[in-house]
Structure 1
Amino acid sequence: MDLLKERIIQDGKCYQGGILKVDSFINHQMDPNLMMELAKEFVKLFSDLNINKIITIEASGIAPAILVGYIMQLPVVFIKKKQPKTMENMLTSVVHSFTKDRDYTVCISSDFLTEKDHVLFIDDFLANGNASMGVIDLCKQAGSKIEAMGFIIEKAFQNGGKTLRANGIRYEALATVKSLDNCKIVLE
């Protein structure tokens, strides 16, 4: 997606350790027009699937997931990183955050993720695939089917894509970062 690639080159920042910072337009301050275009692209990519629910993980996946849900007229459920006192029938999984270098016990109510669900997972980044594997685990616990996963940006030099392919998961990324060596952003 050319519009996204242009923004990554123009406004993205690279940090040592393979970190790409896109907080000025995706995951802190958001460009709503760009988010809507990203959502439209996800809808095109996954329009052939039988999906009845969009899921994401807080926090950066919420905005694009809501827009995809709006366009597709589907409910959106976000997996929480902290257990609320009010959550009942909880499913949990442990996810390691690459950016924050810490583990989170994520949770979702089985009231909102069931064996009847055919889900599309939307998130901002695919790096090592840790969040994705947590989602796969939660869906297995719920008996739901992951139809596909969509990511705004994939860091192809990390193992997330390989992990998803090995698990038979269909996924699409709207932009793919080939390398961040020497803090130079190289896109496919």
Structure 2
Amino acid sequence: MTDLFLKVKVHQGQNLPFVIYSKPGSDEIIGLFQVNDHVYLAESFSETGFIMAPFDGENYVLIPEEHSEIITEKYELPAIPEEGAVSQDYDETAKKDFEQLVEKGVAAIHAGHFKKVVLSRKEKIGGTTKDVEHLFPRLLANYPTAFKYCFYHPKVGMWMGATPEQLLKVKDYQLQTVALAGTQLYEDTEKVHWEPKE
């Protein structure tokens, strides 16, 4: 176990907040380990640290740098398979179930029930939600081009995930947002026309 994951285990054992994350294509994991269990909220977005923003837009929970120990650790990036190479390490039943779901989706489109459909599946993995030192390296290996994170606050909860979509970009002190599915260009009007997919 590395120093960073040892720190994760100790912090969880002491019910102290932390976040670890790795940027797309990076070989570094950055950890912010809060020194108390206070729930800090981002108010002006001038704070430095890591913000976990819920969908409801109510409270933006902040793990502030000024109240955290920061640890950075390098890890070895996994080899990217040659183009066309497919891992044979998959559940054959889950694969067949998903293929049947795709067939049903295509049939529903042909029958006129949908114009488009986005299919997803739930993946169950072994271990417990507290087994960060085993689960997070799997995110690093499986999603090298995504933003990977594990956020924990004993009074708020734990989230671990990987997002392949770039949400924000900063270049020369300029912040740019990136359009995601279901977004549209800002127009200075109170009447917004939303398409069904948005």
What's the TM-score bracket when you normalise by the shorter of the two chains? under 0.3
Structure with greater strand share of residues: 1
TM-score (norm 2): 0.19
Structure with greater helix share of residues: 1
Q: Which has the higher contact order (CA 8 A, sep 6+)?
A: 2
Larger radius of gyration: 2
